[in-house]
Amino acid sequence: MSATQRERTDTVVMPTYRRYPVTFARGKGFYLYDETGRPYLDFVAGVAVTALGHAHPAVTEAVARQAGRLVHTSNLYYTEPMADLAGRLTGLLGWPDGRVFFANSGAEANECALKLVRKALPGRYETIAAWGSFHGRTMQTLAATGQPAKWEAFRPLPPGFLHVPYDDAAAIGAVVSAATAAVLLEPVQGEGGVVVPGEGYLPEVRSICDARGVALVLDEVQTGLGRTGEWFGFQAYGDRAVPDVISLAKALGNGFPIGACVARGRYATAFGPGDHATTVGGGPVVCAAALAVLDAIEGDGLVERARKVGDYLRQGLAGLVESHALPVAVRGKGLLLALQLGSDSARDVAMAALSEGLLVNDVAPSVLRFCPPLTIGEAECDEALGILAKVLRGIPS
Ligand SMILES: Cc1ncc(COP(=O)(O)O)c(C=O)c1O
């Protein structure tokens, strides 16, 4: 696809993304390949989606096998992959009473959670979320998202959302009322610039929710399934921050569209027939893909690997802070890391890295995010760090 063909694409596809000027033709492992066959080391992973890398053979095989057997029945009937996947997820969470609703994306998983808590707690309709959060682009999840710049064109937003500063449990305690159904938080804010809260935050929020009879909903769409060096981000706090409801998507399908809302206790059984639905959600093919993903994460020790390789990458990024003027800090957990830059140059750095064969994401004007596949090793980190060091030398600070 030439530059002219890309321009033509922009005349037929809605311009909701500022795309990078490259067309990818295929992917394998840590690399995407453009049409000339040039490899690009992928430290974006489709925004924390292709946790196993591209074209993972086990996922490809599972999808091909299932597609040849049964693709779609609707949710009017039982299918085995859905039953197996729901059991796997509740098992991983250690929630024997847990139940799953399968959706097609992260926004839909959150949309389900927002409806679920209202149904479970009649008369309570408000959700408290955090400034800087990101929960999706449907109207409800946009209203939950604590980024007013994304709201402007779409007012009036659905009512029932309050925002408080992230990493401030007292601010939540101060606004909980008899109308509050849920507190909705990310264990690490991803789209908000990879913001890690203090150690006491989530446990304190859990206590507030318990004391006030409010659901704790954790959006693990980005942090879930090994990304932060735990199966789920909340597990970093042992049993002190276990949510009532969790949303998952992204890595669950390694690129196949699937989301999941998992609930326990009174929330698990709140929905009845007709309360929520999706025609293709939880279909056999995406569930087969997700089962293969979970097998690989478990079988290949990728949670532990994310922690170990994440430490290595983090140290390398810290080295860039020491030796270059532009980056000023490193933050994040596991393989969800960010470089804070001293100026709004993240796009320039990402563009320069692209031309050197490295994909990184400018998650905010002054923040570069790194969320590579969980399968990467030290060699890939060294390759990325080498390109970044070169690129950073050429960008004015
Ligand atoms: C924490 C979080 N929640 C929800 C979403 C929305 O997911 P999706 O784009 O699959 O709707 C995202 C996407 O980036 C996310 O990072």
Catalytic residues: 134, 219, 250
184 lines ligand 1 (CB under 6 A): no
The 8-class DSSP code of residue 218 comes to E
For ligand 1, pick from 140, 246, 250, 261 the residue to mutate: most ligand atoms within 8 Å of CB: 250
SS3 68: helix
> Which backbone phi and psi does 345 adopt, to 5 degrees?
-110, 10
Distance 47 CA to ligand 1 centre (A): 9
Sheet with 24-28, strands from edge to edge, namely: 24-28, 31-34, 39-42, 358-359
Would you state the pLDDT for residue 2? 82
Alpha-carbon distance of 284 to 66, in angstroms, equals 7
CA 291/CA 297 separation, integer angstroms: 10
Q: In what order do the strands lie in the sheet with 126-130?
A: 99-103, 259-263, 245-248, 215-219, 180-185, 126-130, 161-164
The response to whether residue 220 sits with its C-beta less than 6 Å from ligand 1 reads no
- What's the residue count for the chain? 397
Residue 254's contacts (CB-CB under 8 Å, 6 or more residues apart) are 49, 50, 51, 52, 56, 59, 289, 292, 293
**253 Cα: distance to centroid of ligand 1 (angstroms):** 13
Task: Using CB atoms within 10 Å of the CB of residue 247, give its burial: 0 to 12 exposed, 13 to 18 middle, 19+ buried.
Answer: buried
Whose CA is closest to 50, among 310, 302, 356? 302
Q: Whole-angstrom Cα distance, residue 242 to residue 132?
A: 22
Alpha-carbon distance of 115 to 110, in angstroms, equals 9
Ligand 1 centroid, distance to 110 Cα (angstroms)? 9
136 CA to centre of ligand 1 in angstroms = 5
CA distance 242 to 16: 35
Distance CA 346, CA 195 (A): 16
**How is 302-347 classified by DSSP, letter by letter?**
HHHHHHHHHHHHHHHHHHHHHH-SSEEEEEEETTEEEEEESSS-HH
CA distance 286 to 283: 6
CA 223 to ligand 1: nearest atom: 1
- Which residue lies with its CA nearest to atom 4 of ligand 1? 135
* 165 CA → ligand 1 middle, Å: 20
Indicate the pairing of strand 39-42 with strand 126-130.
unpaired
Q: Say which residues have a Cβ less than 8 Å from residue 165's Cβ, sequence separation at least 6.
A: 130, 131, 171
Nearest protein CA to atom 9 of ligand 1, as residue: 106
CA 40 from centre of chain = 22
pLDDT the model gives residue 165: 98
- Mutate which of 16, 185, 196, 221 for ligand 1 pocket (most atoms within 8 A of beta carbon): 221
Question: Is the beta carbon of 369 within 6 A of some atom in ligand 1?
Answer: no
Angle at 47 between CA 45 and CA 49, to 5 degrees: 65
The finding on whether 303 has its CB within 6 A of some atom of ligand 1 is no
Q: Please name the residue that has the structure tokens 């091909």.
A: 64
Q: How remote is the CA of residue 371 from the centroid of ligand 1, in Å? A: 14
Q: Is 106 in the pocket of ligand 1 (CB under 6 A)?
A: yes
Residues 6 or more apart whose CB falls under 8 angstroms from that of 395 comprise: 326, 345, 348, 349, 352
CA 341 distance to own-chain centroid: 22
Number of helices followed by number of strands (H, E) in the chain: 13, 15
Task: Tell me the pLDDT of the chain (397 aa) as tens digits.
Answer: 788 888 888 899 999 999 999 999 999 999 999 999 999 999 999 999 999 999 999 999 999 999 999 999 999 999 999 999 999 999 999 999 999 999 999 999 999 999 999 999 999 999 999 999 999 999 999 999 999 999 999 999 999 999 999 999 999 999 999 999 999 999 999 999 999 999 999 999 999 999 999 999 999 999 999 999 999 999 999 999 999 999 999 999 999 999 999 999 999 999 999 999 999 999 999 999 999 999 999 999 999 999 999 999 999 999 999 999 999 999 999 999 999 999 999 999 999 999 999 999 999 999 999 999 999 999 999 999 999 999 999 988 7
Find, among 33, 52, 11, the residue nearest to 300 by Cα. Answer: 52
Q: 130 in helix, strand or coil? A: strand
Ligand 1 pocket residue status of 244, Cβ below 6 Å: no
